[in-house]
Amino acid sequence: MSLAEGVLQLIEDAARLQAFAKVRTVWLEIGQLSGVEPEAMAFCFDAVTRGSIAQGARLEIIRLPGTGWCMACARTVPMTEVFGECPVCGGHQMQVTGGTEMRVKELEVT
């Protein structure tokens, strides 16, 4: 719920700076390794935007894959969990390089 409230705060801040009155669509990027459940975010977004400039806005969630750098085989590989093993060599010396983010990518406003 607090993450959805944070997204709404970003939208309201942007509305004050850019003088728009209504949000029609929000594109939100959510990384596979971010710990954010997209379905829960959609539910909470609908709840927290009631009575705001984003009420009724469509939430488009863009899911970003998890990626990491394997120190053992020196490759960038897909990751499905933060502490997982390398799908190429089976090593556990992994450094996450992508998929941990959550950010508002774009707004459609009027």
The structure's pTM equals 0.90
Helix (H) or strand (E) run with residue 26 in it? strand 23-31
- 3-class DSSP state of 99: coil
- Band (1; pLDDT cuts 50, 70, 90): very high
pLDDT digit string (tens) for 18-64?
999 999 999 999 999 999 999 999 999 999 999 999 999 999 999 99
pLDDT at 3: 97
pLDDT in tens, 58-110: 999 999 999 999 999 999 999 999 999 999 999 999 999 999 999 999 999 99
Helices (H), 2-103: 2-18, 38-48
Cα–Cα dist 3/104, whole Å: 11
Mark residue 33 as left, alpha or beta (left: phi above 0; alpha: psi -120 to 50; beta: remaining). alpha
**Contact predicate 32/62, CB 8 Å:** no
CATH number corresponding to 2-65+99-109: 3.30.2320.50
Predicted pLDDT at 28: 98
